[in-house]
Structure 1
């Protein structure tokens, strides 16, 4: 599987409707929803902002999609199928559509959204990296250390973080690429974090 390392954008027209496609890295549904809200603000006259995503959460693939008002099954699912076909993970594809006055029909919509997604992925081939094996680092921290943990984790490619809050502080699980595991583990030890899953 591969994942995008940067945001890329592609635009094409089908019977006067304009489809602006954004392929972006994503580690959570919250990130995706936030970006969709931003696009709707940036494109107030757009008819729809449809989406599809695939995430790797704790070694489990999570998928989702939205037709955002298009007829059911004509936008999000065709986009998700394209993402699956290209074996992408930790990404979302968002398609902003400006209606051009000509109805495309169910089949036409499915083809247009699928093509929009495929075009964006093909154009972004140079920004796709292979997803490497991940390992998990679990540690405990005080509430005031949360920002330090997030900052350190953000310095490593494709790392994700899950935090559980409790009365005594934080339990934190960090998913990191296998190649980076020893380095990030050593950095947490140097900063006197209490590791709960030492080798």
Structure 2
């Protein structure tokens, strides 16, 4: 698993008019090809009257899955420029669709490349770029006397509390950045005089500002 990667926050769209042609860019975080194809098909259905629905996506931890479609535009003038914008922003797990409604004026190869590049860029900007960092999901079992102290520590450290479960003891479920797990574990054990029970139950990616 990657320790961190750059992608888009979720889904965004923006529109631009170039020489009377309407270009609508859409960008979305897509963790796999199934979600990428679903997103593409949804845009195609939404704009089934459009002249072209061009797309590109990059998936995989090393960006090894790269696909694009010109959707009827001259080869190399649409899908590839969209793909290049995603690469330039150093994004992965991203799908971008640029819809075009032809306005009656031919743009030429250079004009199309610039237009589809612009459509991709405004879509990515609208979605917002974020860093996703790998977090360990940690379950901490403590007694009630330690709860206030631990909660105060977690707040000061800016750590996410995912859940709190109350029974004879308290179970705190927290998310800890992968590179801080040992530091946090030692701190909690020190504060509870070695009485806390700490288990890593899994890993998830969280957005970092």
Q: Same fold (TM over 0.5)?
A: yes
Residue 132 to residue 97, structure 1, CA distance change in 2 (3 Å): same
- Aligned counterparts of 2:134 and 2:118: Cα–Cα separation in 1: 31
2:116 aligned to which of 89, 113, 116: 113
TM-score by length of 1: 0.63
Q: Give 1:60 shift.
A: 5.5
Hey, what does 2:191 align to over in structure 1? none
* Deviating 4+ runs (over 6 angstroms): none
Q: Which has the larger radius of gyration?
A: 2
Hey, what does 2:42 align to over in structure 1? 38
Q: Give 1:6 shift.
A: 1.2
Structure 2 runs not aligned, ≥5 long: 137-176, 182-198, 204-209
Q: Give 1:14 shift.
A: 0.5
1:183 and 2:183 matched: no
Hey, what does 1:56 align to over in structure 2? 60
Hey, what does 2:162 align to over in structure 1? none
Q: Is the 8 A contact 2:6 2:130 kept in 1?
A: yes
1:101 aligned to which of 84, 92, 104: 104
How do 1:1-199 residues align onto structure 2 when only pairs under 5 Å count? 1-57=5-61, 59=62, 61-124=64-127, 127-132=128-133, 178=178, 182-184=200-202
SS of the residue corresponding to residue 113 of structure 1 reads helix
TM-score by length of 2: 0.60
Q: Give 1:178 shift.
A: 4.4
SS of the residue corresponding to residue 183 of structure 1 reads strand
- Aligned counterparts of 1:60 and 1:86: Cα–Cα separation in 2: 12
